[in-house]
Structures are given as C-alpha cells and as structure tokens.
Amino acid sequence: MVTSRDVARAAGVSQATVSRVLTSANPVSAELRERVLAAVDLVGYVPHAAARTMKTGRTGAIGAVVDDLASNPFYPELLQELSDAFDDLGQRLTVWTAGSRSDAAIRSLRQGLVDGVVFTTVTPTSTEFASAVDSRLPLVLINRTLDDVDCDQISTDNVAGGALVADRFAAAGRRPAFIGGPADASTSRQRLTGFRARLTELGAALPPAPWEIGDYTHDSAYRAMQRIIAEDAADAVFCANDVVAVGALDAAREVGARVPDDLWIIGYDDIALASWTSIDLSTVRQDARRMARDGARMLLERIRSPSSPVQHVRLEPELVTRGTSGR
C-alpha cells in the first residue's frame, strides 16, 4: 500500500509537509504545494478517508435528506441542482431518502459521517431533523421551512406565490378553490395563506369549502377535483404543486370540462413536464437552481462560522401563464 511516506520521499519533503498540503491545515508555498501534489499523482497515493476524518474532524461530505423523489419531479430536479452546487464548492454530497425508513440517515447523522445537512422536505415531526438538531450538526432547510426553529432556511416566498394566483383569479372574476398538500408541509400551508389573504383583501368570493387538503399526489388531487366539479364549487382552481395540478387537470379532462374556457387550473413549481404540450400548465415558478446554490453556500458558511447570525432567505416566485388559465 502506498503511504504518505512514499509521497514524501518522491517529493523530497518531510511527511509533515505532505500532511500540511493534503489537509490544508497550514499554509505552504505554491512551489512546495505543486511539488507534493505532483508526487501524489506520481506514486498514486490516495489519502484514506477514514484516517483523514479521524485526524481533521472533517468528513468533506454533506448529507441531504430528501423525500418524494419518486412522486414529485420537483425533488429530483432540486436534488440535481444541489448536487451540482456542492460539487462546484468542492464538497461530496451524500443523499438519503427520508420517510418511514429513516434509519440510514439517522445512523449516519449520529455517527458524524457528514459535516452538515440539507433538508428539502422537513416537517415538524421529521425524526431525521430531530436527530440532526440533537447532534448539533450545521444544517439548512431548503424549500420547506419551520417557523420556530433557529436555523438557516431558504425557500420561495410561497405567501407571495399564492397572492399572485389570487390576483389573477380575482381580476377575471373567477370563483376560486384550492387543492393542497399535507397539512404539515409549510409549502402548501403558506401558499394557501397567501392565496386566501389576497382574496380577502380584494373582497373576492370565498366559497364555503373549496380548500381541499390532500397528500401532494396525482390521485388525491384527481379525487378532490371530481368533488369540486360534482358540486360546481369553483371555476378557477389553485393547486399547491404541479403534480396536484395535473391530477386536477386529468379529472377535468375526463369529464370533458373545457380548460381554460370553463375552468382554470394553476399549479406551483414549474417542473419540466408543466411545459409539455400534453400538459401545458399555468404555474408559479420556483427558482430551484438559485434555491440550491444559495442554500449550499449558506450551509458551508454555517460550518465555517457556527455563531454567525441565522439567515432566512425568501426568493421571489413568478407566474407563468400557459394553456390552463387565461392571460
């Protein structure tokens, strides 16, 4: 096995110098650095990660706890952006899927396998999140937020996003409804809050029970839309995300409802398929790339400066009008 002793010999320096270069612990001259790195390549030395972690206390790895990868394309899109962002910042991203099977993530968090954690789908009852807080790991919440937690958070301004849709519905004199996600998801709750508040502000009609709470799936949205159609409860439906909106759209198309003439549907996220001809969905666009890049930087900053002030960042949403609503 090639060791740092071989590197030292090939570079004509001491083992301590090799260690200084490889751990960036102390400054060395550019010339010395180049010489050592060339020797690393020459002898084919790979610093053993476990050994290095023991020495430096840093793993060079960031954990991401994600959920709904299979059911909502927004998350794989966001994860790809996160992966690119951390890679650009020289960090290794380790991904765990959350949900009922959270053992893997929790074990890793408690065992110090990562320097910090990103959560993209946190809820107040998330066991992974509780475990990260217990472990005092640097962490950042991306996309979903928690009100009463003192940590860095970045999301779209979902209240503003809901208001954008309310403005559009009210200007057209449409009777509004909302099909949401889980009650414990901040995203769905904030979008509804902004939507209702703006409708009230504008004096627009608030029908009796048009606020459907589902589980962010196509199926539950499909059933919610069937109820809305059966009761003729609305002619403009705001859906808490794009998958929900396609479920609603499919229910409308099944019964031959004319979209957008008789019925408007607006989603949230602007996932790739929202722009496909067969879907052609009006939606509130989230800037997933910026959310990922700014969130990644916030986490690295937190790792470097544990006591710097906590940041809550909200990005501006944008309404994208396509074939399921009027202009």
**Residues in the site for a copy of itself, rule: CB under 8 A?**
46-51, 53-54, 59, 69-71, 73, 75-77, 79-81, 83-84, 86-88, 91-97, 101, 103-104, 107-108, 110-113, 218, 246-247, 249-251, 253-254, 272-273, 276-279
Closer residue to a copy of itself, CB minimum distance, 172 or 320: 320
Helix, strand, coil tally for the chain in percent (to 5): 45, 15, 40
- Smallest distance from a copy of itself to CB 79, Å: 6
Closer residue to a copy of itself, CB minimum distance, 93 or 192: 93
- Orientation angle between helical segments 186-201 and 158-171, nearest 10 degrees: 40
Closer residue to a copy of itself, CB minimum distance, 36 or 251: 251
Closer residue to a copy of itself, CB minimum distance, 30 or 50: 50
DSSP state of 256: T
- Smallest distance from a copy of itself to CB 27, Å: 23
**136: Cα separation from own chain's centroid:** 21
Structure tokens at 68: 């709904």
- Smallest distance from a copy of itself to CB 34, Å: 19
- Smallest distance from a copy of itself to CB 209, Å: 25
Closer residue to a copy of itself, CB minimum distance, 92 or 314: 92
Closer residue to a copy of itself, CB minimum distance, 25 or 104: 104
Structure tokens at 128: 């992974």
- Smallest distance from a copy of itself to CB 95, Å: 4
**Other beta carbons less than 10 A from residue 227's beta carbon:** 15
Q: Which residues pair with 284 in a beta bridge?
A: 268, 319
- Smallest distance from a copy of itself to CB 119, Å: 16
- Smallest distance from a copy of itself to CB 196, Å: 28
Q: Strands of 264-269's sheet, edge to edge?
A: 211-213, 176-180, 236-239, 264-269, 282-285, 318-320
Gap between the Cα atoms of 123 and 32, Å rounded: 49
Closer residue to a copy of itself, CB minimum distance, 71 or 311: 71
H or E element in which residue 94 lies: strand 92-97
What one-character-per-residue DSSP string does 173-218 give?
A: T--EEEEE--TT-HHHHHHHHHHHHHHHHTT----SS-EEE--SSH
Gap between the Cα atoms of 227 and 220, Å rounded: 11
- Smallest distance from a copy of itself to CB 23, Å: 14
Closer residue to a copy of itself, CB minimum distance, 91 or 187: 91
